[in-house]
Structure 1
Amino acid sequence: MNLAAIDIGGTTIKIATWKDNKLQNKHAVDTPKTLEEFYTVLTDEVNKIKSENKIDGVAISSPGAVNKETGIIGGSSAIPYIHNFKIVDELEKRFELPVTIENDANSAALGELADGSGKSCNSMAFFVIGTGVGGALIINQKIWHGAHLYGGEFGYMMINDGQLSALASPVAMAKRYNARTGKHANGKDVFEAADNNDPIAAQERDTMLHALATAIFNIQHSFDPEKIVLGGGISNNPKLLTLLNEEIEKIRKSMPNLVTIKPDLAICKLKSDANLRGAVADFEQNHK
């Protein structure tokens, strides 16, 4: 199956051709400012791919709460014009091809399931750790969207009277640190400062790690996935897995009378290709 693959982002739109079971001719364009420009750019890109290849459809990863039944992207995002109308129908008219759209976090999870750290798993939890905390749940190799499209919205989880996104995001961690020190550090800076014995940085990093470890522990013991995969910019930190596993062990040891499961953690492998690869996997699941 050959496809046009598209990953819609707030700043850029990534485009690739899926051919011979791999992503080819990957490139990016600036995200248009209006819906009409959006239609023009995507139609031109798909037509170019069609002129060079016989393709079977268009696979899209998008922000927002994608309703697979209605073809509508609900919720909100940095691209307001893509929401709350039957966008799948509109794109199919223009492309003259079948179109599938899946949420970007769900797409990244499907990508990791297909060719990344979750390959061969039947169940998986995927965390996206960035400005906030999001994610996806996979059951029997398919996305669990939930009754209200809230499957995988880990950031809403309450941890120690706070939301996970406000506690475990590196952006939020840096804001807390800056508020206490008057500095202008980012998440990476705070991690490095903690390694260099900055006590405030160490406290804020510990707050982040404990919240994330607690969420992972809770997901493992409620959903019990085979693997939990971590994505987002912080996943590039080589110390993350070690620090998280240490924090999870502290939680497990605090329950001496209970048998607990040690989560199998992994860092995402596909990085910037995850959404494109997952969009393809979603299309293949929906158009076998």
Structure 2
Amino acid sequence: MALLTIDIGGTSIKYARFTEGRLGDQGAFATPDNLEDFYQHLTAIVEQFRENTDICGVAISAPGAVNKRSGVIEGASALPYIHNFNIQAELEKRFGLPVSIENDANCAALAEVNFGVAKGLSDVLFLVLGTGVGGAVVVDGKVHHGKHLFGGEFGFMLMDDRHSFSELGTTIRMAERYNKRTGENLDAIAIFEKAFAGDEIAQEERDVFVFNVAKGIFNLQYSFDPELIIIGGGVSQADWLIPTLQKELVRLVELNKDAEMLPQITVCAFKNDANLIGAAADFAQTYAK
């Protein structure tokens, strides 16, 4: 038996067959701008897969705050038409199959815990450094959603008396600060290159980014005491990031004489496939007998 896994994104929707821990027959299409086209496209994909594969269900990764109890995607995203009604029940009716839905960052975390760099671990944090800072909390192998479905919304953490983690711990905001100071219009990659080449302003802004990511990791380690903190997002693929963060974490531990525990950090394994794989893991947990 196989699953159809679907990753709903703001610009594209990816899908794949998931069998025995692996993805196959992957594809994608542009995300529709209305609910009816959304239903039609997804139903067509389900029917296409059922012609050639014995599909036992549909596992979905979605943006927003997914309420697993009600089947409603709460909060907000770039796709307002998927929010605030029981979309899980509607999709099950249209597909004629069991459906599971989970938040995309939570799916990425489940992918790593079940099949990736955190396989065999129980308590893990997943930190996503994107346009903002997000993530997931995994306790005893399961996502901790929190009372208000804000588990893993690390970006709201205050790093000083007025700046949030999302403001100081993302490359997008780093680039904004650099460009405002210099009058240039560079992206983060170019700014990092200038920093390593000796540009003082670029170095200053890179150091602000690194220090605040390390501070966030340090605080999360001593708040949740996870076995591992996994870092995702585009910047996670920079080969200098983990060694640089590790040096900063050592410095923070040395500064805090009561702190003896050095956070264990690594980067995610699955990158663009994480949400599809994690959606399958969530389906297995949702319908576990």
TM-score class, shorter-chain normalisation, is over 0.9
Structure 1 CA distance for aligned equivalents of residues 173 and 260 of structure 2: 30
The equivalences for 1:1-288 within 5 A come to: 1-161=1-161, 162-256=163-257, 258-288=258-288
Distance 1:181 1:248 in 2: 30
The aligned amino acid for 2:236 is S
Determine the C-alpha separation between the residues in 2 that align with 1:92 and 1:13: 18
Q: Secondary structure at the match of 2:190?
A: helix
Moved more, 145-154 or 19-28: 19-28
TM-score if structure 1 supplies the norm length? 0.98
CA distance in 1 between counterparts of 2:206 and 2:101 reads 36
**Structure 2: how far apart are the matches of 1:171 and 1:120?**
34
RMSD: 0.8
Q: Percent identity?
A: 48
Q: Deviations over 1:224-272 (max 9, x none)?
A: 000000000001100000111111111111123x132111101101011
1:118 and 1:151 map into 2 onto residues whose CA distance is 19
**CA–CA distance in structure 1, aligned partners of residues 183 and 259 of structure 2:** 44
For structure 1, the residue ranges without an aligned partner over 5 or more in a row are: none
Which piece of structure 1 moves more, 123-132 or 181-190? 181-190
Superposed CA deviations along residues 149-169 of structure 1, whole A, max 9, x for unmatched, are 000000000002210000001
Gaps of 5+ in 2: none
Question: Quick check: 2:107–2:279 contact (8 Å CA) kept in 1?
Answer: yes
TM-score, normalised relative to structure 2: 0.98
Cα deviation for residue 20 of structure 1 reads 3.3
Give the C-alpha shift of residue 2 in structure 1. 1.3
Q: Report how far residue 37 of structure 1 moved.
A: 0.1
Q: Which moved more, 1:172-181 or 1:16-25?
A: 16-25
| Structure-2 separation of matches of 1:168 and 1:192 | 18
Aligned length: 287
Any runs of at least 4 consecutive aligned residues in structure 1 with deviations exceeding 4 A, and if so which?
A: none
